[in-house]
Structure 1
Amino acid sequence: MKNIHKKTTKYKLMTHKTFLKGLLPLIVLALSFQACVDELDQVNPNALTLDTFWQNAGDLNGGLNATYASLRDENILGIKWEYNRTDIAVPSVFRNKSTGTAIYDQTFDLTTNEVQNKWNACFKGIFRANQVIDAYYRLEDTFNGADAEQSGIYILAQARALRGYFYYVLHNSFNKGSLPIFETVPVEIADFQKSFSTSEDVKAFYLADLEYGKENLPGTYNAWQSEAGNGNLGRITGGFCEGLIAKTYINENDFVNAEIYLKNVIDNYGYELADDLAKCFTGIAEFNNESIFEINYSYDANPLGLDEQKLSQQISHQLNDGNQVQFSSWLTLKYRAEKPDPLNPINLVNRNIYDTSGNLDSIQENVVRMYSLRMNNSMTSVDDRDGRMYGVENAEYGTEKSAATHGRQTPNFIKKFTGWNTENGGLGEDESADKDNRSDINIPIMRLGEIYLLYAECMIEKGDLSEALRYINRIRKRSGLILLGKSTETSAEFVGSTTTYMDDIDMDPSNGEQSVTLENLENHLRFTEKPLELSLEGDRAYDLRRWGVWKQQLENLSTFEYDSWHFRNNRMGKNPTRWRCFIMPTGVLPTYDDPNLPDYAFRQVKSTPEAHFINGNRRAKEPHLRDALTGSKNFIEDIHAYLPVPQDELNSNLNWNQ
């Protein structure tokens, strides 16, 4: 026992010494930490705080510029992935492997990156807008004089309009519209723990912002320049606010209220359709009179070149050189089926004719173009003799090493939002180091063409066929298409020797004449005019949801099978065969006459196409050309019509379900 006591005493002594030995460093660390805390309590003279920033209108404008910069986050519009959820597009990986992505296959959930990124991008914009709004109210009394007061109102109205837009996107994208409402900038951790408001409350909140913007902002880009002075081009407009209010009603199928706002946008702002659709997408006429609001991009950039400090966008390169998005097969065939008006002079072209060696033989003058101008401004087809792609004919594109070619993975290229009108010999997008695979082409959020089609939908719902045709035909006339209806209709604005009207809704006499009616015009608007005019634009997901046809449309498209054909004996230049790049419905032969074929091919093409224009050694029933094959099976309205609240939000917001 005595020895045990000695050992115990010794153990206690050693333990005490060890404890003291360990405690001393902790005491030193604590003292050091206190010194650090005292140091941290000092004001950093270089830091931006409420005491040093948000002091004047200049600071407010700086914060406003940061809010505009939030729009450059490409996840807000989601051009590279959002349309894969719908009937418009497929991811390029699907063209390669017959497998899609979580978005395309409708297997996305609250952990999917795109879901999280879109949520984050919108709330970043809201946070920045709220910084400006809060600071404005703190400084409101310092705006002395009419000019200063007006300047302050413009700042507040822009911040509120931008906040309204971000909430519009969130409300129509996530959780059936139920969201946390942030009216001010959160200060304490508890301020972030927001319970979710009802969809109706969120809508009322952002509509109030948009109404304020509508009443207090210049209506158009031209008005900004005349009312606020040069240097204001690109700012959010009152016309955009009113258009977004109209779309809010449209999204709820409230056509009565939507009509009021849409007609006011059409009649009272001075907007007008551009004479050439290319002016809306290629950078040649940015901020034109059709544009209601567009995201402004530039090659000017911060030397650091990080994130949003890069003022240019990646969409152009990823649609062209990156080929990250392809139009769905049904939409491709829709574009190819459009009828150019043979009487319209804009459809008359000069076409190169080549000999069998690929050398230029002659030029046909004033022949009717093969495909519509709307298609030419939206996508390529390898056999298009009249369109151009970076200065070369479609089948020639891809001979340069930097440019992808028409092929199995890229049967068609999307031309929208790219510099396809650049005459650079087929090099494609500028890949020089200083451009860093980026583009300065602006991206439209809203333009008059969309407003026309929304108004036409209101007229169809109202039962006014004549007025609906008036606005649809204005869109069609701009692209040189045959117009719908009868030339004797009161809505027939373009009667004359340069315009063809056809009272046949599908414009295909072989199917029998189907006169234009309210019922079939509604279907035509939904599945022809809107997807072809507004591909990768507008709110296709919202449309399919509000029409109640999303599942039905995906299932319908999934039933069609397609063959891929080689484009061989290429006489558009000395180029090799384009492999498996021409889409046709299974069992349907490409029978139209190509003017460059030998005479014997014209006589035999219907029976033996394999010997001539397109190689008959085709791949039948290509799985990678099927649309929504997996997504149509997985799509469940209650799960996939809206994006879910992201996992990060559920983890960080303890009151999300209160």
Structure 2
Amino acid sequence: MDTTHKKNKKIVLGMKNNIINKLTPLLLLVFVFQACSDDFLDQTDPNALTTASFWENTSDLNSGLNSTYSALKDENISGILFDFFRTDIAVKNSFRNSGEVDPFYGQSFDLTTTEIENQWNALYLGIFRANQVIVNYEELKSSFNTDEIEEEGLRIVAQARAIRGYLYYILSTTYNNGEVPLLDFVPADFDEFQQAMSPSQTVKDFYRADLQFGLENLPATYSAWEDVGKDNLGRVTGGFCEAMLGKSYLMENNFGEAKIYLKNVIDNYGYALVPNIEDCVTGINEFSSESIFEVNYTTDLNLVEDGEKELSHKVTHQLSNGNVQPSSWLTLQYRNDPVDPADPENMNLGANVYDTSNGEITGTEDRLRTYSLRMGTSMVSVDDPDSPIYGVPAGELGNADDVSPLARTRPNLFKKFTHWNTIGSGAGEDRSTEFNNKSDINLPVIRLADVYLMYAECMIEEANLAEALRYINRVRKRSHLLLLGKSTEAGAEYVNATTTYVDDIDFDSSNGEEEVTLTNLMDHLRFTERPLELALEGSRVANLRRWGVFKSQLEHIASIRYDYWHFNKNLNGKHGDRYKCFITVSGEEPTTYTGTSVTNQPIEVQDAVLGATNFQIDAHGYFPIPQAEVDTNLNWNTTE
């Protein structure tokens, strides 16, 4: 088969897949039969369930709404397994292993890239399902004959609209400069799919109207949902709608409008930071006081018998396998984030003392943590002796049978969205047939720490340094880090003997004398607080783009060179060196444990070298309209 034939076959298959995804009925129970006989085609099966006979009451609307929620479970909605390769956050294993460049990491993706089409299809499938609920609610609402049924119907349609608004927010911030097809109806034939692109402002107005409707008609929080009935955890809420409205305005740098919504979320919903980041991202405290909305997953149900919906996700195993790894730049940012020596939470009592020449344990001592708790709950590094992973020190990961060591192609691993804190003995994730590549850890869409940092950005833009520091320091104090500014400043909330303030936020500065200013606080927010707190969360692509620093940040991280190191004896004396499992900035030696330098500036641990060169904001700031949409939508290149 020649190249042209292969390409044409791919395009045809893409057209078929796109049309099938769009025309998939809401329920698996809605069937269309075809037969050879004209007589048969003229008959109506009295036992068949059709779209006309299905949408009859709020129970049917609820079934449709459940299908809409199910659409959110597709990891392609968030792009968590590929989108962060475009940024300063993550690297694909193939590059760490062999220097092979992923199209996102190398900024060579285009309209034919599979993941771009998959995300587009997942978003519009969710919109299609939401529209079925919304359209049929409008048809049914005049038949609701009690206040109770009217209220139930209103809550159903408000959820569908809130989800549709969220999906269009993603489309708006991800594709084609925000110009995408708007569908507020259920297309019935090919012609109705031929929709022109709507202007970006029209799309924003549309999804904001959906979110505003949800804000006005949904219970405010998860706990408020419990007043309506049981088993409502995981539903969208008024708080989610308000948070997304604020975020939407921030994404266009409309700080004055954004701050109103964000501050209201902070003040009037009862959200509160949980004690540790791991409570938000490991499954041990789902739907916590910090959670504003998270996608709910389970492994309790049989995925084969329960139909077409993915009830679990594969993110956990992809991360634990090292397929998505922290960038070298991000790794060093975590390592350079200083702990507060006055905070007793940073004292490691009875910590092992290692002979740095061979990694053997020689005793114990009480000492300060080597790295921050924020790092210890977000990322594993082989030289972090204080933060266990799967029940063992980082240097011992891989001692268990059939578990790959933390070495060579995996200098560092993300701990977020894995079961690192619930599975012991260093065995890693459960890889039995029933659970392999399946996870029940919920994936957060937005949480309070994100809202705090977004609001802090608004305050920096207003030159309100004290208010910005208040919310940044709340996030930092949760992880027992040094706080920024001065304890004597107005608004300082933690003034006690167990909290240390520093007026120098340039922790890498050679003179250490730079005071906190609006300019360097903004840089700190962009390149320390947000990436370290929200790695693999948030809207990194949209943020880098709206800040106007996308290319310059890629160029910056590409300019830093790193060296590979062996790490002695696994930190336990049981095995030999872990090979190529530790990096430092080129020319620097490990400061905690000695090792053997094996490679100077190997390409596979450098960041975005090719991507920084290839990146052009017009081509790579947004995803293009995917090829399958170009081939099936005759109006793809027109704007209303």
- TM-score, with length taken from structure 2: 0.92
3-state SS of 1:545 partner = helix
Distance in 1 between the 2:276 and 2:100 partners?
Answer: 37
Note the C-alpha offset of 1:403: 2.4
Deviates more, 1:459-468 or 1:419-428: 419-428
Distance in 2 between the 1:209 and 1:509 partners?
Answer: 47
Note the C-alpha offset of 1:45: 4.2
Q: What are the within-5 Å matches in structure 2 for residues 320-335 of structure 1? A: 320=320, 322-335=321-334
Distance in 2 between the 1:436 and 1:507 partners?
Answer: 42
Among the aligned pairs, what percent are the same residue?
Answer: 53
3-state SS of 2:414 partner = coil
What residue in structure 2 maps to residue 603 of structure 1?
none
- Structure 1 residues 240-287: Cα deviation after superposition (integer angstroms, max 9, x where no partner): 111111111111111000010100010011111111111001111100
What residue in structure 1 maps to residue 513 of structure 2?
513
- Given that 2:126 and 2:164 are in contact with CA atoms closer than 8 Å, whether structure 1 keeps it comes out as yes
1:51 is aligned to 2:31: no
Q: 1:649 aligns with which of 626, 629, 637?
A: 629
Q: What are the within-5 Å matches in structure 2 for residues 351-366 of structure 1? A: 351-353=351-353, 361-365=362-366
Question: Given the superposition, is the C-alpha separation of residues 47 and 647 from structure 1 closer, same or farther in structure 2, using an over 3 Å criterion?
Answer: farther
Q: 1:624 aligns with which of 582, 598, 604?
A: 604
Q: 2:615 aligns with which of 635, 641, 646?
A: 635
- Given that 2:423 and 2:429 are in contact with CA atoms closer than 8 Å, whether structure 1 keeps it comes out as no
- Structure 1 residues 177-214: Cα deviation after superposition (integer angstroms, max 9, x where no partner): 11111011011221111111111111111110000001
- Given that 1:312 and 1:439 are in contact with CA atoms closer than 8 Å, whether structure 2 keeps it comes out as yes
What residue in structure 1 maps to residue 567 of structure 2?
567
Distance in 1 between the 2:421 and 2:307 partners?
Answer: 28
- Given that 1:558 and 1:629 are in contact with CA atoms closer than 8 Å, whether structure 2 keeps it comes out as yes
Note the C-alpha offset of 1:363: 2.5
RMSD: 1.7
Q: 2:595 aligns with which of 614, 639, 651?
A: 614
What residue in structure 1 maps to residue 261 of structure 2?
261
- Given that 1:194 and 1:653 are in contact with CA atoms closer than 8 Å, whether structure 2 keeps it comes out as yes
Note the C-alpha offset of 1:572: 2.7
- Given that 2:482 and 2:501 are in contact with CA atoms closer than 8 Å, whether structure 1 keeps it comes out as yes
Distance in 1 between the 2:549 and 2:306 partners?
Answer: 41
What residue in structure 2 maps to residue 610 of structure 1?
none
Deviates more, 1:48-57 or 1:245-254: 48-57
What residue in structure 1 maps to residue 130 of structure 2?
129
- Given that 2:70 and 2:310 are in contact with CA atoms closer than 8 Å, whether structure 1 keeps it comes out as no
Q: What are the within-5 Å matches in structure 2 for residues 16-31 of structure 1? A: none
Deviates more, 1:184-193 or 1:535-544: 184-193
Question: Given the superposition, is the C-alpha separation of residues 633 and 225 from structure 1 closer, same or farther in structure 2, using an over 3 Å criterion?
Answer: same
Distance in 2 between the 1:55 and 1:434 partners?
Answer: 38
1:370 is aligned to 2:351: no
3-state SS of 2:124 partner = helix
- Structure 1 residues 109-151: Cα deviation after superposition (integer angstroms, max 9, x where no partner): 1110011001000000000000101111111022222211110
Question: Given the superposition, is the C-alpha separation of residues 394 and 45 from structure 1 closer, same or farther in structure 2, using an over 3 Å criterion?
Answer: farther
3-state SS of 2:352 partner = strand
* Residue correspondences, number: 603
Note the C-alpha offset of 1:345: 1.4
- Given that 2:359 and 2:568 are in contact with CA atoms closer than 8 Å, whether structure 1 keeps it comes out as no
3-state SS of 1:380 partner = strand
Distance in 2 between the 1:307 and 1:619 partners?
Answer: 50
Note the C-alpha offset of 1:335: 0.3
- Given that 2:91 and 2:325 are in contact with CA atoms closer than 8 Å, whether structure 1 keeps it comes out as yes
Question: Given the superposition, is the C-alpha separation of residues 308 and 577 from structure 1 closer, same or farther in structure 2, using an over 3 Å criterion?
Answer: farther
Distance in 2 between the 1:632 and 1:381 partners?
Answer: 26
Gaps of 5+ in 2: 1-33
Note the C-alpha offset of 1:408: 2.1
Note the C-alpha offset of 1:359: 6.6
Q: 1:324 corresponds to which letter in structure 2? A: N
Question: Given the superposition, is the C-alpha separation of residues 324 and 41 from structure 1 closer, same or farther in structure 2, using an over 3 Å criterion?
Answer: farther
- Given that 1:558 and 1:627 are in contact with CA atoms closer than 8 Å, whether structure 2 keeps it comes out as yes
Note the C-alpha offset of 1:410: 0.1
Distance in 1 between the 2:300 and 2:155 partners?
Answer: 26
Distance in 1 between the 2:128 and 2:540 partners?
Answer: 27
Q: 1:208 corresponds to which letter in structure 2? A: A
- Structure 1 residues 146-187: Cα deviation after superposition (integer angstroms, max 9, x where no partner): 211110110000000000011000011000011111011011
What residue in structure 1 maps to residue 486 of structure 2?
486
What residue in structure 1 maps to residue 12 of structure 2?
none
1:421 is aligned to 2:402: no
- Given that 2:360 and 2:569 are in contact with CA atoms closer than 8 Å, whether structure 1 keeps it comes out as no
More relative contact order, 1 or 2 (CA 8 Å, 6+ apart): 2
3-state SS of 2:61 partner = helix
Distance in 1 between the 2:269 and 2:200 partners?
Answer: 31
What residue in structure 2 maps to residue 22 of structure 1?
none
